[in-house]
Structure 1
Amino acid sequence: MLKSLLAALLVLSPAPSSASRPEAHIIRPGDTLTAIARQYHVTVGDLKSWNNLDGDLLRPDGALRLSDSHHVRPEWVTWSETLTAAEANGDPAKKCPVPVTELRRVWVKYLDFDGEVHNGSLIVNRSIVPQTKKAFALLYEWHFPIMVMEPVAVNMPGLTDRTVLTSGYECRNVAGTTKWSQHAYGLAIDVNPRQNPMIRGDYLDPPHSEPWIPRGPYRAGMIHPQGAEQAFTTNGFSWGGRWTSLKDYMHFSPNNL
């Protein structure tokens, strides 16, 4: 009798409406399209259609859209260009360690936290342009969301907190030292800093990233082992999230510095 009553309740209980579902599901290790479809009361075909998926392979840290409210993703494209000293550094008095002739602006398509696609750019050393392009191509293929990239005025108008920016080259020292950062050589890339902070003892960068210190949850833009990190580590970068003296979850560099 009890089993019959429970079965009846399950049949009569309405499935969650699209309005009550989250915008996206962040993929965890072991997730399958079948399990995700069952969780949100949609079909595998819906998930494939809404996310332009050809197969069943899912990559941890990617974001699967849970409705048809977003446009079809355009094909991924990339290009690079030279830049002027003023565009790279602004202030010649900084005496940055790399001449502008060794830098390139790399343009990539990326998916933001709202599921919209933008053209974004970052500056890197010309020696790592090919692997930078390949890494961001994988992030796009894997539906990994990036909060914002340059040009900020176009991609997130009104943004004042630039600590959230995914970026590469910056003529600066390592925090608290007089030593040049790898960013000053164009040999480091920071991805979603707010969601992937640098943690050194009680020091947290960027500020206000406390909610993302626990790395167990899988939330939009977070990088985990065997997840989004592999877009870079399979292309010759090392990840600061694997350091032992401190954790720099945003940081990728080809020389592990």
Structure 2
Amino acid sequence: MKKNRLLTALALFFCSAPSFANISNLTAAQCQAMIGKGVMSTKAPVQCDRLRNVTFKHYTFNGKTATGKLVVLDAVAPHVERIFDELYQQGFPIAQAKPIEYYAGNDVKSMDANNTSAFNYRPIAGKSSLSLHAYGAAIDINPLQNPFVEFTSWGTATFKPLKGHEYSNRMLQRLGKEDRKGFAEEVINIFAQNGFIYWGGYWDTPIDFQHFQTSRDMAYLMTAMPTKEASLFFNHYVDWVQSCQQNYGSKQMNKFKDYTSYLQTELKTTTSLNRLYKANPNAVMQAINKKAQVSQSRCFK
């Protein structure tokens, strides 16, 4: 009897554990503001009805509590909520987090303000193809502490924001100096466990320390799907990532196979899942609903 009471008490405790983040739909006024500021367009791959606000508590660098907000794709929103809930519980500092319409969609101004942000209908820096921010499937965190670094052909490095050069040394602990906080390296696993396994710090050039994203194939697929199916897909993907980590550890995440590659293998096709879904959605959903077979060769390259 006492054992049952204890189990019930524990269940109630964990079920009632406080959440420091929540999800909401975009309002019509917010959507209009995004359009007016150039953050949203009718040409964007996702429209306001497929985007969600994730509002969360966070600590600032001076130890105060603040409220932040990110706009992300509906399918990834619950996992973004979990990411920032965990960051708050771990005391990870975030300078600020405002939707990028506060900066009229200007990514440079947002970085200069050390603003953590997500959705923005814009191309990849220096290119014509769309950034995954335009799909609501990418997050930039603490740009000052985690700068975007480009290299010229003769090896000169340029930093965005400019003051980010002060954080070119990525050591958190340095002899005779205070420990540094807010580095993306501290939270790679939290993002990965929630589906954002791609980190810009892994890149050769440019290096984008602030940037976490899903894969491009996933973004294409999720925006082709209705919300319910996209959410199911991303939930299964996160389960897959976590199963691989639990069975084989998280140290091999740089060799992780994309879940879309796994599904292509299951479907015996090299066609992108986005195209295949448009041609035969039932086949793709059947593969997604099938219990994933986790093994080292399936998880890692």
TM-score (norm 1): 0.62
Aligned-pair CA distance for 1:195: 0.5
| RMSD (CA atoms) | 2.3
The correspondence for 2:48, drawn from 100, 103, 116, is 100
2:163 aligned with 1:208: yes
Task: Look up the match of 1:221.
Answer: 182
Structure 1: 4+ residue segments shifted above 6 A:
none
Aligned to 2:93: 145
For residues 93 and 215 of structure 1, the distance between their equivalents in structure 2, rounded to whole angstroms, comes to: 37
- Give the corresponding residue for 1:252: 212
Q: Displacement of 1:230 after TM fit?
A: 1.6
- 2: distance between equivalents of 1:82 and 1:132? 14
AA partner of residue 213 (structure 1) = S
Q: Which of the pair has the greater relative contact order for Cα pairs under 8 Å at 6+ separation?
A: 1
The 10-residue stretch of structure 1 (202-211 or 88-97) with the greater mean CA deviation from structure 2: 88-97
User: 5+ residue gaps in structure 1?
Assistant: 1-74, 153-159
- Distance apart, 1:78 and its partner CA: 1.6
Match of residue 247 from structure 2: none
Name which of 20, 25, 31 aligns with 1:77. Answer: 20
Structure-2 separation of matches of 1:187 and 1:80: 15
Q: Deviations over 1:93-146 (max 9, x none)?
A: 673222111111110111111111112101001111011011111111211100
| Contact 1:89–1:171 (8 Å) recurs in 2 | no
Residue 209 of structure 1 aligns to a residue whose secondary structure is: helix
CA pair 96-207 structure 1, distance change in 2 beyond 3 A = farther
Structure 2: distance between partners of 1:162 and 1:176: 17
In the alignment, structure 1 residue 88 sits paired with structure 2 residue 34: yes
Corresponding position of 2:266: none
**Secondary structure at 1:110 match in 2:** strand
SS of the residue 2:166 aligns to:
helix
Farther off after superposition, 76-85 or 135-144: 76-85
Matched residue, 2:194: 235
For residues 103-142 of structure 1, the aligned pairs below 5 Å read 103-142=51-90
CA distance in 2, matches of 1:207, 1:168: 20
User: Which structure carries more helix by proportion?
Assistant: 2
> Aligned equivalents of 1:256 and 1:195: distance in 2?
25
Q: Show the counterpart of 1:169.
A: 119
Other structure's SS at 2:86 match: helix
CA distance in 2 between partners of 1:206 and 1:256 (Å): 25
Specify the alignment match of 2:257 in structure 1: none
Matched positions, count: 174
1:71-108 Cα distance to aligned partner (Å, 9 max, x none): xxxx5422112223313332466732221111111101
Q: Which amino acid aligns with 2:34?
A: A
Distance 1:87 1:149, change over 3 A: same
Q: Is the 8 A contact 2:172 2:181 kept in 1?
A: no
Q: For 1:59-78, what aligned pairs fall within 5 Å after superposition?
A: 76-78=19-21
Question: When the two structures are superposed, what TM-score results if normalisation uses the length of structure 2?
Answer: 0.53
The answer for the alignment partner of 2:149 in structure 1 is: 199
Distance 1:97 1:242 in 2: 26
Residues in 1 aligned to 2:70 and 2:193: alpha-carbon distance in whole angstroms:
20
Question: 1: distance between equivalents of 2:93 and 2:41?
Answer: 36
Q: What letter is aligned with 2:23?
A: S
Q: In percent, how many aligned pairs have the same letter? A: 32
Counterpart Cα distance in 1 of 2:70 and 2:160: 20
Give the CA deviation at 1:186: 0.7
